[in-house]
Structure 1
Amino acid sequence: MEAIIYIAHGSRREAANEKFRIFIKKVMEQSTAAIQAYGYLEHAEPSINQAIARCIEQGADEIKVVPVFLLPGIHANIDIPVELEKHQNIVCHYGKPLGVDDIMTEILVTRLAEAGFAKREEETVLLVGHGSRVPEAEVEFEKLAKRLAKKIDRAVHTAYLTTSPFYHETAERLLGQKVYILPHFLFSGGYNIKIKKELDKTDGMIFCSPVGFDDKLISLIEKRTSEVGNDHKLSDYVTA
């Protein structure tokens, strides 16, 4: 019997983990799968191992694993597969992160509108991501930025928290414009506080809410789940 496991990163903040739990239960309610579970890579329980154990206890002999991560990176490409490879007693089919999709673009457009973005000539957007040592992550992030720019017909600049170009340096280069800081994060909290604290006194900066666990993501997760083919086993997944 096949099961589905949804994997999130996990947060040290229990409030953030609770937001994921509430969200992923909505996803599970809309699925027809008989066996479903969720787990966290770190900082929270159930862990990936605990989620797999629960599925096996319910009779699962194959598992579709869906990483609820925005982009490919060390966690999605390496850390989660390493955990899954420990379970040789069950077949795992591994899916893709949320990635680039019209649904994600729609959410970003909504976040901009909520902050007052009106496509005026003096307005520009700074899309801020975490950053990754995996080149594929930057490629996907730039694709998303281009889609967003086309949708809003305004420039979209990209920058990162942990890799170059850094968000504070890019923000400085955009001084003189009305810059909408758009965080590309699921979990709100420390990263968003850090960005706002550092740029809050900079003229012209307007802070948008992060992607978060928007209900529109439910259909995107369903899409990513349906894309996990039965011929795609964990051993086929090429880590970066």
Structure 2
Amino acid sequence: MMAYFLVSHGSPDPAPQQSMALICQQLAGLGIVGWGTLEGASLPEQIRRFSQQAQSQGAEGIVILPLFLLPGNHVVVDLPPAIARAKSALPIELLPFLGGQPLFQAWLQQAIARESAHILLGHGSRRPEVLPWFERLCQTCGVHPALLTQAGSLDHAIEVRMAQGYTSSKVYGYFLFGGKTVNQVHRQVATLQVRYPHHSLSFVPAIQPTPSFINVLQGILQAVPLVEPVA
């Protein structure tokens, strides 16, 4: 039997915490499922406690899925050493981050098409390789890219659509479960609507733990082969 541990960014907002708890509840059919956060409490300690619990219930290994959407510093710099420091009682396999998973990207493409969205708005990163990665993702999904860390990025995407003759744009928030960042984007979109009064703006605020999204997580976890110890 395998145990599964999901890692999110972490937020004091109760909504993302409730979403993570719901996801774990819905994935319980896979076996032992838990979650932790990179921000806040020590992630190595969270993993150590989970591994002890999983071992006591007969688990043979732990699969960790990072619920991050971009290959930024959290994924590349922060997460691997944090997991390496975890004194786990069980072997661990760290999966690629969620945003890079083909199953998730296929789901995202369908979700964007279902919403008839035109712009994909992500958080962004200080890592220069994130921008071309995100632009390729947007090209695959058939939308314009915009990142919060790039000043004027969303304005530019809207202006491109206006120059193409469109009178409205729907922005799809490339965020998980809401929180402070999404609240800030709501205010930004409202400000842009005042700036562009003849161009109607709407906003799909964040990816939510819908049954179809949870099915994607289940598919990713079920596809994992036998766990081998981390070197």
- Normalised TM-score (structure 1): 0.75
SS of 1:93's equivalent in the other structure is strand
Which residue of the partner structure matches residue 38 of structure 2?
41
1:184-223 to 2 correspondence within 5 Å?
Answer: 184-200=174-190, 201=194, 202-203=196-197, 204=199, 205-223=201-219
Q: Distance in 2 between matches of 1:163 and 1:229?
A: 39
Which residue of the partner structure matches residue 84 of structure 1?
83
Which residue of the partner structure matches residue 180 of structure 1?
170
Which residue of the partner structure matches residue 113 of structure 2?
109
Which residue of the partner structure matches residue 6 of structure 2?
6
Once the 2 structures are TM-superposed, how far is the Cα of residue 7 of structure 1 from its aligned partner? 1.0
Amino acid at match of 2:98: L
Contact 1:127–1:159 at 8 Å: present in 2 too? yes
Which residue of the partner structure matches residue 19 of structure 2?
19
SS of 2:121's equivalent in the other structure is strand
Q: Distance in 2 between matches of 1:231 and 1:61?
A: 8
- Percent of aligned positions with the same letter in both sequences? 23
Query: Measured at CA, do residues 231 and 189 of structure 1 come closer, stay the same or move farther in structure 2, by a change above 3 Å?
Result: closer
Q: Distance in 2 between matches of 1:208 and 1:159?
A: 14
Among candidates 151, 158, 161, match of residue 171 of structure 1: 158
- Point out where structure 1 has 5 or more consecutive residues left out of the alignment: 118-124, 150-155, 236-240
Contact 1:81–1:234 at 8 Å: present in 2 too? no
SS of 1:53's equivalent in the other structure is helix
Contact 2:48–2:87 at 8 Å: present in 1 too? no
Q: Distance in 2 between matches of 1:4 and 1:82?
A: 19
- Point out where structure 2 has 5 or more consecutive residues left out of the alignment: none
Query: Cα deviation per residue 1:54-79 (whole Å; 9 max; x = unaligned)?
Result: 32244256321111222322112222
Amino acid at match of 2:136: K
Once the 2 structures are TM-superposed, how far is the Cα of residue 88 of structure 1 from its aligned partner? 4.6
Q: Distance in 1 between matches of 2:161 and 2:85?
A: 47
Once the 2 structures are TM-superposed, how far is the Cα of residue 26 of structure 1 from its aligned partner? 0.8
Contact 1:38–1:46 at 8 Å: present in 2 too? no
Higher percent of residues as helix:
2
Deviates more, 1:199-208 or 1:161-170: 161-170
Q: Distance in 1 between matches of 2:229 and 2:94?
A: 6
Query: Measured at CA, do residues 231 and 138 of structure 1 come closer, stay the same or move farther in structure 2, by a change above 3 Å?
Result: farther
Query: Cα deviation per residue 1:189-209 (whole Å; 9 max; x = unaligned)?
Result: 322232232232233222223
Query: Measured at CA, do residues 134 and 216 of structure 1 come closer, stay the same or move farther in structure 2, by a change above 3 Å?
Result: farther
Amino acid at match of 1:133: R
Runs of 4+ in 1 over 6 A off after TM superposition: none
How many residue pairs align between the two structures? 214
Once the 2 structures are TM-superposed, how far is the Cα of residue 161 of structure 1 from its aligned partner? 0.6
Contact 2:189–2:203 at 8 Å: present in 1 too? no
Contact 1:6–1:68 at 8 Å: present in 2 too? yes
SS of 2:98's equivalent in the other structure is coil
